[in-house]
Amino acid sequence: SLKGFGVDTIKEGVIAAGCILHYLAETKHTDIQHIASLGRLEEDKYVWLDRFTVRNLELVQAQHPGGVPLIDILDQTITPMGARLLRKWVVLPLKEVSQIHRRLDTVAALVANPELLEEVQGHLRPINDLERLISKVAVRRVNPRELLQLARALESIAPLREKLAASGIKALEKLADQLNACTALRTEIQAKIRPDAPLLTNQGHVIMDGVDAELDELRALAFSGKDYLLKLQQREQTITGISSLKVAYNKVFGYYLEVSNAHKNKVPAAWIRKQTLVNAERYVTEELKTYEEKILNAEEQLFVIESRIYQEVTLAALDFVSQIQQNARAIGVLDCLGSFAATARQYHYVQPTVNDGPTLDI
């Protein structure tokens, strides 16, 4: 039922929302679990500005070269969520006096407490675009570096929450109640994803050492190859007396032993000729063939195991989608309030008295 969202009687709005969901389905965007609610903008709560008014008032864009729109003066936001919300606030001003008072009172409290403002903005700086990151988690398209960005952002939530809760400012205390550090998810990401993970999972080296015993064994096999091949080369040089003998690899023939024509009479009978060159012969041995099979299997298994563990982490993140979305909304509001306070301090603005009367007294 749409009654819980307050839109059950708004036929046109329901149709519009349905069209959007239908479009997503038609364009194969099937992972839309992060779209969990439907909201309405109530006309009696906001001043509705058409696009011509927004343009003529130069709220978000200047009409002439060198012009400065209002948002350029007000915008000292730090996070992408704050920047987007501020733009919305500028083009959709509040109408309810009580709501305006709550917002202004909070800004005034931050203006009066510059230390708190600085600390809050300091905690906001490491926070990336939580809305975008968690949306990518929800549609299973998040890459390892984005997961690490998410973990770093969550790391700032706990100290930020503590600071707001102890601020003594009612509105900030309410925002603190909305924040959740999602410690279990952050710990999971930081314990399993390498801090220097590549952009794509198929590049390997995504999962930390010590997470999976089989993965560690396969890595040891795959990455200790140079030592093994050097020892094999030195051993065969000693056995055959061919000091110029070398072990090499190419994609066509795999691993091989190369011997110059001057020494091919010293080659053991058990070696298998693989390729004849102008000045040399290339051979393989049973030992080399076995080693090559192990290496190729190890690399293949490495990808399988890393992919499995990475999918486990992203699946665990799905349980936190709604909470991180709530974090993003609260941080956006906090960032906007901090931006207003910073602007007010910079330009020495004072808090206006707002009422329902028809008089504008400056």
Q: pLDDT at position 11, please?
A: 76
By the 8 A CB rule, do 279 and 261 touch? yes
34 pLDDT band, cuts 50/70/90, is low
Q: What is the Cα gyration radius of the chain?
A: 32
By the 8 A CB rule, do 303 and 36 touch? no
Q: What is the largest CA-CA distance in the chain?
A: 108
Please tell me the pTM assigned to this model.
0.78
* Stretch (H or E) spanning 272: strand 272-276
Name which residue leads in pLDDT, 299 or 35. 299
Name which residue leads in pLDDT, 204 or 10. 204
Per residue in 143-186, pLDDT tens? Answer: 999 999 999 999 999 999 999 999 999 999 999 999 999 999 99
25 pLDDT higher than 80 = no
* Stretch (H or E) spanning 259: strand 254-260
Looking at every residue in the chain, the average pLDDT score rounds to: 91
Name which residue leads in pLDDT, 16 or 283. 283
31 pLDDT higher than 70 = no
Q: pLDDT at position 5, please?
A: 61
Q: pLDDT at position 2, please?
A: 61
Which span out of 22-31, 169-178, 348-357 was modeled with the highest average pLDDT?
169-178
Q: Token pair of 211, please? A: 């997470």
Yes or no: is domain 48-182+320-347 CATH 1.10.1420.10? yes
Task: Considering the chain, tell me which residue range(s) the CATH 1.10.1420.10 domain(s) occupy.
Answer: 48-182+320-347, 215-308
Q: What percent of the chain has pLDDT over 90?
A: 71
90 pLDDT higher than 70 = yes
17 pLDDT band, cuts 50/70/90, is confident
Query: What DSSP string describes 306-331?
Result: HHHHHHHHHHHHHTTHHHHHHHHHHH
Residue 343, number of CB atoms within 10 A of its CB: 16
Pairing mode, if any, of strands 280-284 and 254-260? antiparallel
Per residue in 46-82, pLDDT tens? Answer: 898 999 999 999 999 999 998 999 999 999 999 999 9
268 pLDDT band, cuts 50/70/90, is very high
Q: pLDDT at position 86, please?
A: 98
Query: What DSSP string describes 230-298?
Result: HHHHHHHHHHH--TT-EEEEETTTEEEEEEEGGGGGGS-TTSEEEEE-SSEEEEE-HHHHHHHHHHHHH
Per residue in 182-217, pLDDT tens? Answer: 999 999 999 999 999 999 998 889 999 999 999 998
1 pLDDT band, cuts 50/70/90, is low
9 pLDDT higher than 90 = no
Class of domain 215-308 (CATH, top level): mainly alpha
